[in-house]
């Protein structure tokens, strides 16, 4: 997901949800793990087979962080 605001000259990029998209046309699930551990679905962290539903889990974790954001807690 990429958003570009030409007036402000800023980009917003959200990535890292490609875990379950490669080779999904053949209906297979995958076992190779990559990504930020906090955002990975439990089955991915445990090395079990996973599919595209794990991307929705990662997106949900990201949205939760966005709604709970508190700029006063930044270091």
Integer Cα distance of 72 and 75 in angstroms: 8
pLDDT tens for 3-14 read 667 787 777 666
Integer Cα distance of 32 and 23 in angstroms: 12
What global pTM score does this model have?
A: 0.53
Integer Cα distance of 68 and 21 in angstroms: 28
Region of poorest pLDDT, from 18-22, 30-34, 41-45, 65-69 = 18-22
Three-class SS of residue 30? strand
Neighbours of 9 (CB within 10 A): 7
Percent of residues, the chain, with pLDDT higher than 70: 55
Please say if the pLDDT value at position 51 is more than 70.
Answer: yes
Token digits of residue 1 = 């997901």
What kind and span of H or E run contains 58?
helix 53-67
């Amino acid at each position: 997901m990429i958003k570009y605001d030409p007036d402000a000259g800023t980009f917003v990029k959200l990535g890292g949800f490609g875990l379950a998209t490669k080779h999904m046309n053949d209906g297979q699930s995958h076992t190779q793990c990559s990504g930020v551990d906090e955002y990975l679905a439990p089955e991915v962290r445990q090395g079990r087979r996973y599919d595209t539903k794990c991307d929705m889990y990662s997106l949900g974790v990201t949205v939760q962080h966005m709604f709970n954001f508190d700029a006063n807690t930044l270091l």
